[in-house]
Amino acid sequence: MSITTDTMRVPAPERLAPALTTGWMGWARANLFSSWLNSIVTIALAFFIVKYLIGFVDWAFVNAIWNVPNDAAGRPDTSSCRDNKGLGACWAVITEKHRFMLFGTYPYEEHWRPALVCLLFIGLYIVSAMRRFWRKELVLIWAATLTVIALLMWGGVLGMAFVPQDRWGGLPITLILATFGLAFAFPLAILVALGRRSKLPAIKALCVLYVELIRGVPLISLLFMASVMFPLFLPEGMNIDKLLRAQIAIILFAGAYLAEVVRGGLQALSKGQYEAADALGLSYWQKTAFIILPQALRLVIPPLVNTFIGFFKDTSLVLIIGIFDLLTAGKTAIIEPMWQGFAVEVYVTIGLIYFVFCFAMSSYSSKLETELNRGRRR
Amino acid sequence: MSDTAIDPRYATRPPKRPLRLSWSDERVRGIVYQIIVVGIVGAIVYWLYSNTVHNLDVRRIATGWGFLNREAGLPIAEYLIPYDPTDTYFRALTVGVLNTLKVAVVGIILATLLGTLLGVLKLSKNWLVSKVVTVYIEIVRDLPLLLQLLFWYALLQGLPGPRQAINPATGVFLSNRGLKLPFFEWVDVHSWALLLVVIGAIGTYFFHKAARAKQMADGQPRAVWPSAVIMMLVVPLGAWYFMGAPFTPDIPALRGFNFSGGLTVSPEFFALLLGLTLYTAGFIAEIVRAGILSVNQGQWEAAEALGLPRGRVMNLVVLPQALRVIIPPMTSQFLNITKNSSLAVAIGYQDIVSIANTTLNQTGQAIEGIAVIMLVYLTISLSISLFMNWYNSKIALVER
């Protein structure tokens, strides 16, 4: 076998891989130009992207107007924006109205309070998102923060002027509706989900009826109900304000959807867990609180976050019954004749705010999903 | 087994024992808990009910469904059945239900088509295509639908007037009055031809079923498409031809300050349809993508190893398996489109919510108005879920 040993002693000279299969060129060949059809699609798509991107940049930045001068009466003069219509955006409407869009009719000199409230909400979300805070103390943190938020919004203590609820508006309302909605809907959802899996027929029937009834109708009909029917339900003289009524409707709505998510977690748990808890002689509530719920809730955190994103978006529906949330504030900001016709700019800005919140939550949820599955994927 | 008594080894339940009147008996506790819960719920409902009756009495609000037969006097811009403001409230509400169904059905069809396309494109090997689709899905899903609707409506209203309408093709005009499309004058013959198409479709379905049964018996595949073409295309067209082949094009044209003729899509309907379709397509795309990905890679490889061409791999092997994963979440998206169409009230498209809302404002009968809305949606939701459950059980995996 001398011939083979000879050839083995002298290795073939090393050659580089073909230039077209490595580096960015190789990547482009594999992912963008792998066939005739793919090349044509890539080039056509790239052409349109560049074309529309240039058009958008022109509209949003190059030709945009950021400020408008005041006219003789001291009102903003939007004629320059009107001449520019179709060519460039009129961000002056945002410059002029951003405080109104964010905080509604809240007294101007007190705007630091709703601003602080928004920051508190964001801080609360961040703390709740961190796994090291997933313990019982989180409930206390929520209770404390929500109390501080209520104090800040209403005022009337610590030298802060009292602000009635009908002057609240803008982003804080959106955050309040979504967060308080979740905080109250979640315990309700757990009870309903447990009830729906209960062996007691009457309780099960009540829970099924509630969930299916709420899930079968649109949120708007519940909001209408809250705005026109709740006053009829209550005894004479007892009156609750519009925001609270909408909040109740949102809680009832969210409760039904969250209950189904929680029920998914309860069903995903293996039967052995229930049997083991029974074998230990735990009572129903001990079993539920110490064995079942901690595991079931952990399973459904990603879908819970997704459901929460849905509610965050759905709070915008209160516009229809005239509650002053972020979207309503934006829509009202352009009612004045001089700002009419600049809706697109306002909606783009509001969309950006919603997008930041929802995108943060959805990327968090998908990250969490991979993280939580890591232990189970061996 | 001739023996009717249950072998104790197979008994899964403990033997029944008589109820003991003691707190330590689980069943007694259960009954007491149920009585307490039902009692509390019943008390709350009774309290709300008695308050309502009292309030209605004090405020002198009429109750009952008598208003349905009164003259509505509310103008409706779009209707599928003839309507006039002098018609009854019942007629007005029916028009509203039909408007809701119209936008929901068209929206479901368009969103399914667009969503499936986007879902497949997101799996494309072309990096640029898949990234563009990803960005689209992410943007659309993270913005409130209501905001998107208002945005499209504002854009449509910002379009030039009829005189400067955008005119991309002959007879197609896009202006702030909506979209104008060329059409032809609809006469009875067309309705008959359409009926023949529907009959042909039903015939094709049964023919396909019979062909499949025969194939199962003798293994011989039979082509369905020739008879499908004959039944759904040739026969209706032939009938139309022999009935005189009436065809008068109706092309919209600018007369004075507005258009005349053609098919009109109002800006309200257009904005609602656009918003619903684009929004839901984002969700459907993710469902379709997840469904296709859920099919094991081995299935693709096995099908290719059998020598099936790529199109048939998709049709015969992958899609039937993906559908099982896709159908249940798709059902809830269809329900969502229907329920979300109620946002029409924000941009002035007169669906059932909008008309019922006007009705309750005019008559002051809030309870009946809300009840109408809820009943309509519950009926629609229930029908869609029943249909989709039936379809789902048809394509479900038949196990041993």
Q: What is the pLDDT of residues A285-341, one digit of tens each?
A: 899 989 888 888 888 888 888 888 999 999 999 998 888 889 988 888 888 888 887
A206 shares contact with chain B (CB less than 8 Å): yes
Closest alpha carbon to A310 in A178, A112, A215, A198: A178
- Is the residue at A147 inside a domain? no
CB contact under 8 A, B343 and A229: no
pLDDT of residue B12: 67
CB contact under 8 A, A351 and B147: yes
User: Rounded CA gap, B40 and B46, in Å?
Assistant: 10
Q: What is the three-class DSSP state of B398?
A: coil
- Residue A107, pLDDT > 50, answer yes
pLDDT of residue A7: 57
Q: Look at A177-181, A228-232, A237-241 and tell me which has the smallest mean pLDDT.
A: A237-241
- Is the residue at A341 inside a domain? yes
Label residue B298 exposed, middle or buried (CB < 10 Å: 0-12, 13-18, 19+). Answer: exposed
Sheet with B166-169: strands ordered across: B166-169, B172-175, B178-181, B263-265
Closest alpha carbon to B345 in B71, B96, B87: B96
> Which among A34, A232, A359 has CB closest to B125?
A34
User: Rounded CA gap, B80 and B99, in Å?
Assistant: 7
Q: What is the dihedral of CA A79, A81, A86, A91, to 10 degrees?
A: -160
Distances (CA, A) of A150 to A145, A180, A251, B306: 9, 11, 18, 67
Grade residue B58 by pLDDT with cuts at 50, 70 and 90.
confident
pLDDT of residue B134: 93
A38 shares contact with chain B (CB less than 8 Å): yes
**pLDDT tens, residue by residue, B286-303:** 999 989 888 888 898 999
pLDDT of residue B185: 77
Which top CATH class is B89-143+269-395? mainly alpha
Q: Do you know the residue count of chain B?
A: 400
Which of A81, A191, A217, A287 has the most B C-beta neighbours within 10 Å, making it the best mutation to test the interface with B? A217
- Is the residue at A81 inside a domain? no
CB contact under 8 A, A224 and B150: no
Chain B residue whose CA is closest to A237: B55
A135 Cβ contact partners less than 8 Å away, ≥ 6 residues apart: none
> Pairing state of beta strands B178-181 and B183-184?
unpaired
Mean predicted lDDT score pLDDT of chain B: 85
Chain A residue whose CA is closest to B137: A359
Give contacts of A224 with chain B, Cβ < 8 Å. 353, 357, 369-370, 373
Contact B172, B181 (CB under 8 A): yes
A320 shares contact with chain B (CB less than 8 Å): yes
- Residue A128, pLDDT > 70, answer yes
Q: Do you know the residue count of chain A?
A: 378
Contact A177, A314 (CB under 8 A): no
Element of type H or E holding A172: helix A171-196
Q: What is the CATH number of the domain that holds A328?
A: 1.10.3720.10
Beta bridge partners of B254: B259
Element of type H or E holding B259: strand B258-260
How many of the other CB atoms lie within 10 Å of CB of A308? Answer: 23
Helices (H) and strands (E) in chain A, counts: 18, 0
Number of domains in chain A: 1
Closest alpha carbon to B139 in B27, B30, B279: B279
Q: What is the dihedral of CA B364, B367, B372, B376, to 10 degrees?
A: 140
CB contact under 8 A, B38 and A202: yes
CB contact under 8 A, B370 and A229: yes
CB contact under 8 A, B128 and A233: no
Query: CA angle, B345 as apex, B340 and B351 as ends, to 5°?
Result: 75
> Pairing state of beta strands B263-265 and B166-169?
unpaired
Maximum C-alpha span of chain A:
109
Q: Which residue has the tokens 């609820």?
A: A165
User: Rounded CA gap, B115 and B288, in Å?
Assistant: 8
CB contact under 8 A, A232 and B51: yes
A91 Cβ contact partners less than 8 Å away, ≥ 6 residues apart: A64, A65, A66, A345
Give contacts of A351 with chain B, Cβ < 8 Å. 143, 147, 151
Chain A residue whose CA is closest to B48: A233
Distances (CA, A) of A8 to A11, A14, A17: 6, 14, 22
- Residue B399, pLDDT > 70, answer no
Distances (CA, A) of B284 to A19, B289, B297: 41, 8, 22
Mean pLDDT of B351-373: 88
**pLDDT tens, residue by residue, B147-169:** 999 999 988 888 887 778 888 77
Range picked from A56-70, A91-105, B343-357 for highest mean pLDDT: B343-357
Chain A residue whose CA is closest to B382: A216
- Residue B3, pLDDT > 80, answer no
- Is the residue at A48 inside a domain? no
CB contact under 8 A, B143 and A343: no
A44 shares contact with chain B (CB less than 8 Å): no
> Which among B41, B127, B366 has CB closest to A206?
B41
A314 shares contact with chain B (CB less than 8 Å): yes
User: Rounded CA gap, A8 and A17, in Å?
Assistant: 22
Q: Phi then psi for B19, rounded to 5 degrees?
A: -70, 130
Element of type H or E holding B183: strand B183-184
Give contacts of B52 with chain A, Cβ < 8 Å. 232-233
Q: How far apart are the first and last CA of chain A?
A: 47
Give percent above pLDDT 70 in chain B.
Answer: 95
Beta bridge partners of B180: B173, B264
Q: What is the DSSP letter of B177?
A: T
Give contacts of B30 with chain A, Cβ < 8 Å. 199-200
Q: Residues of A numbered 66-85 whose beta carbons fall under 8 angstroms of chain B's beta carbons: which are they?
A: none
CB contact under 8 A, A41 and B30: no
User: Rounded CA gap, A81 and A71, in Å?
Assistant: 14
Give contacts of B141 with chain A, Cβ < 8 Å. 358, 362
> Pairing state of beta strands B263-265 and B183-184?
unpaired
pLDDT of residue A26: 83
Rounded to two decimals, what is the model's pTM? Answer: 0.86
What token pair was written down for A342?
């600049």
A and B: number of Cβ contacts within 8 A:
148
CB contact under 8 A, A45 and B38: no
A313 shares contact with chain B (CB less than 8 Å): yes
User: Rounded CA gap, B132 and B127, in Å?
Assistant: 9
Grade residue A353 by pLDDT with cuts at 50, 70 and 90.
very high
Label residue B350 exposed, middle or buried (CB < 10 Å: 0-12, 13-18, 19+). Answer: buried
Contact B257, B162 (CB under 8 A): yes
- Is the residue at A208 inside a domain? yes
List the alpha helices (DSSP H) in chain B: 26-58, 89-122, 127-141, 145-157, 188-218, 225-229, 235-242, 267-294, 297-305, 310-312, 319-340, 344-347, 352-363, 366-395
User: Rounded CA gap, A317 and A246, in Å?
Assistant: 10
pLDDT of residue A8: 63
A16 Cβ contact partners less than 8 Å away, ≥ 6 residues apart: A22
Contact A258, A186 (CB under 8 A): yes
**pLDDT tens, residue by residue, A50-61:** 999 999 898 888
Q: Phi then psi for B186, rounded to 5 degrees?
A: -85, 120
- Residue B125, pLDDT > 80, answer yes
Q: How far apart are the first and last CA of chain B?
A: 23
Q: Which residue has the tokens 């979640």?
A: A186
pLDDT of residue B139: 93
Give contacts of A215 with chain B, Cβ < 8 Å. 381
Contact B118, B136 (CB under 8 A): yes
pLDDT of residue B4: 56
Q: Phi then psi for B38, rounded to 5 degrees?
A: -60, -40
Query: CA angle, A322 as apex, A320 and A326 as ends, to 5°?
Result: 90
User: Rounded CA gap, A139 and A152, in Å?
Assistant: 20
A59 shares contact with chain B (CB less than 8 Å): no
Q: What is the DSSP letter of A225?
A: I
Grade residue A378 by pLDDT with cuts at 50, 70 and 90.
very low
What token pair was written down for B77?
């811009």
CB contact under 8 A, A358 and B142: yes
A343 shares contact with chain B (CB less than 8 Å): yes
A281 shares contact with chain B (CB less than 8 Å): no
Q: Which of residues A16 and A311 earns the better pLDDT score?
A: A311
pLDDT of residue B160: 81
Domain boundaries, position A295 = 91-106+163-376
What token pair was written down for B289?
């993508």
User: Rounded CA gap, A260 and A250, in Å?
Assistant: 16
How many of the other CB atoms lie within 10 Å of CB of B358? Answer: 20
- Residue A6, pLDDT > 60, answer no
- Is the residue at A132 inside a domain? no
Grade residue B1 by pLDDT with cuts at 50, 70 and 90.
very low
Q: What is the three-class DSSP state of B88?
A: strand
- Is the residue at A9 inside a domain? no
> Pairing state of beta strands B258-260 and B172-175?
unpaired
| Nearest CA distance, B194 vs chain A (angstrom) | 34
User: Rounded CA gap, B47 and B75, in Å?
Assistant: 39
Determine the angle formed by the axes of helices A171-196 and A326-333, rounding to 10 degrees. 150
A227 shares contact with chain B (CB less than 8 Å): no
ipTM confidence: 0.87
Give contacts of A343 with chain B, Cβ < 8 Å. 150-151, 154, 158
Give contacts of A203 with chain B, Cβ < 8 Å. 33-34, 37
- Is the residue at A154 inside a domain? no
What token pair was written down for A246?
């909408």
Contact A43, A28 (CB under 8 A): no
Contact A69, A77 (CB under 8 A): yes
User: Rounded CA gap, B55 and A2, in Å?
Assistant: 109
- Residue B70, pLDDT > 90, answer no
Give contacts of B33 with chain A, Cβ < 8 Å. 200, 203
